[in-house]
Amino acid sequence: MDQTGRLRIRIIGIATAVLALVIATMIAAAAITDYMMISETADRLIDALQSHSWSLPANGDYDTPETPYETRYFTVDIDESDGSCIGYDMNMIGSVTVDEAEELAGEAVKSKKAGGFVGTFRYRVLGRGESGGTTVAFLDRGQQLSHLRSFVAMSSVAGVMATVIVAGMTMLLSRSIIAPVKSAYRKQRSFISDAGHELRTPLAAIRADADVAEAELGESRWLGDIRSQVDRLSSLTDDLICLAKLEENPDSAERVDMSAVTEAGVASIEARCLSRSLELETDIDGGAFVLCDRRGAERIVSTLTDNAAKYTPDGGRISISLRTSWRIVSLTVENETSGPMGEEDVERIFERFYRLDESRSSGTGGYGMGLSIVKAVCARNGWRRTARWSPKSKTLIIRIDMPAAQRDGQRCRRADRDGRNG
């Protein structure tokens, strides 16, 4: 999947998530408001019952005229010493037995709260009653709570349906939304690729002219500098073309021997390490296979090993390992750095044209393109990449985790410790 495809998925995901969040917030706010109103109304009715000797006058201030005739309630007197029931009034409710009333009163007292809900009943602890015990009044709010639950259920169903509809509409409209971006992105890739190919011809001509001039005039500092700059521009051109191709449709995947690829990458830097007195440590498991395009795998290894050899100070240490564990093949490249790295540096080293320090990079000949290619290869293959800097050892550690492949070319379910697939 190219970047425009990932952008489309992101747009659909964000739009759907935002709508779902808004709907959920509205439902929750309405439900909480309704619940609070149910509780407040119940408390007012209990207060009215208590002030009118446990009967509601027909002409009171109620939500509806039917409230006095629909209100179902009962009271229980609890002995504070042992928690036993010493009295009750069940005249205004028929669906609750005495035993159930005692159980509800016990739960209310155990909560040690002045009021709240026990099941579908709103209760208030009213203090000492005529029997000498603590009076707990219960008001049935089952019908109101049932309406609230129905509202939440229906609203949730409607919200889910609305989210699905919006997601579908966004999916249809996203094509036209990202069409200009896709066109611009395609033109950008085409320009980079075409410009890269066009630059190759004059660069080759300049190098040929430099070789002819050197043959006629002899070696010169200026001719050497010309060739050096031509090589740098040629390398940059190759990197740009590589990135443009990586962001297009990927090559067909095949079963790649990462052990052999890693060993080849190590071999390519051994001479440089020896000439600069670099300590090179390797730990490469044999028989580690991954399912990917070979060029991408080779480019990752060559880039990471080349960067390690390029940026490690003279006499420093480089460690390259390829380990298999369960389903994962892990490539880890560690190298000492010439200076400290901040968290921002570590996060940005995979960006195009990003270099830590011009003064540190001026002599390396790099343009900050190598690790961006690593990022593109990992994204195309779905590999996990991590980078961190150890202040204690002043070491940059880059790790690539790749799903292992079975011998039949499928991603394996499990790979044993020595790299042989099971």
Q: Look at residue 329 and tell me whether its pLDDT is greater than 90.
A: yes
d(CA 297, CA 265): 11
Question: Phi and psi for 333 in degrees, rounded to 5?
Answer: -120, 120
Q: How confident is the model at residue 310 (pLDDT cuts 50, 70, 90)?
A: confident
CATH class of 13-148: alpha beta
d(CA 95, CA 72): 10
Amino acid found at 259: S
- Give the pLDDT score at 421: 36
Q: Look at residue 360 and tell me whether its pLDDT is greater than 60.
A: no
Q: Look at residue 66 and tell me whether its pLDDT is greater than 90.
A: no
| Bridge partner list, 53 | none
Q: At what angle do helices 221-246 and 142-217 cross, to 10 degrees?
A: 150
Question: Phi and psi for 254 in degrees, rounded to 5?
Answer: -145, 165
Q: Mean pLDDT across the stretch 126-151?
A: 85
d(CA 226, CA 421): 50
- Give the pLDDT score at 145: 93
Provide the residue ranges of all domains of the chain, joining segments of one domain with +.
13-148, 252-403
Helix, strand, coil abundance in the chain, percent, nearest 5: 55, 20, 25
Contact in structure between 243 and 192 (CB atoms under 8 Å): yes
Q: Report the candidate in 98, 42, 106, 115 with the shortest Cα–Cα distance to residue 72.
A: 42
Residue 11 CB neighbours (<10 A): 16
Residue 268 CB neighbours (<10 A): 14
At residue 419, the 3 state secondary structure works out as coil
Question: Phi and psi for 276 in degrees, rounded to 5?
Answer: -110, 10
Q: Report the candidate in 63, 118, 54 with the shortest Cα–Cα distance to residue 91.
A: 54
Q: Look at residue 1 and tell me whether its pLDDT is greater than 80.
A: no
Please give the model's pTM, rounded to 2 decimal places.
0.54
Q: What is the DSSP letter of 404?
A: B
d(CA 368, CA 422): 40
**What homologous superfamily does CATH list for 252-403?**
Histidine kinase-like ATPase, C-terminal domain (3.30.565.10)
- Give the pLDDT score at 6: 73
User: What is the per-residue pLDDT across 88-124, written as a single tens digit (0 to 9) for each?
Assistant: 888 888 888 998 998 898 888 888 888 999 999 999 9
- Give the pLDDT score at 414: 36
Rounded (5°) CA angle 93-95-101: 75
Amino acid found at 368: G
Q: Please report the sign of the dihedral spanned by the C-alpha atoms of residue 301, residue 349, residue 334, residue 307.
A: positive
- Give the pLDDT score at 299: 84
Q: Look at residue 178 and tell me whether its pLDDT is greater than 80.
A: no
Mean residue pLDDT of the chain comes to 80
Query: Same CATH fold, 252-403 and 13-148?
Result: no
| Bridge partner list, 140 | 121
User: What is the per-residue pLDDT across 378-391, written as a single tens digit (0 to 9) for each?
Assistant: 887 888 999 888 88
- Give the pLDDT score at 243: 63
Q: Look at residue 422 and tell me whether its pLDDT is greater than 50.
A: no
- CB proximity list for 410: less than 8 A, separation 6 or greater: 291
Q: Look at residue 141 and tell me whether its pLDDT is greater than 90.
A: yes
Q: Mean pLDDT across the stretch 72-97?
A: 85
Q: How confident is the model at residue 194 (pLDDT cuts 50, 70, 90)?
A: low
Amino acid found at 115: G
d(CA 85, CA 135): 10
Q: Look at residue 50 and tell me whether its pLDDT is greater than 50.
A: yes
Q: Look at residue 219 and tell me whether its pLDDT is greater than 90.
A: no
First to last CA, the chain: 30
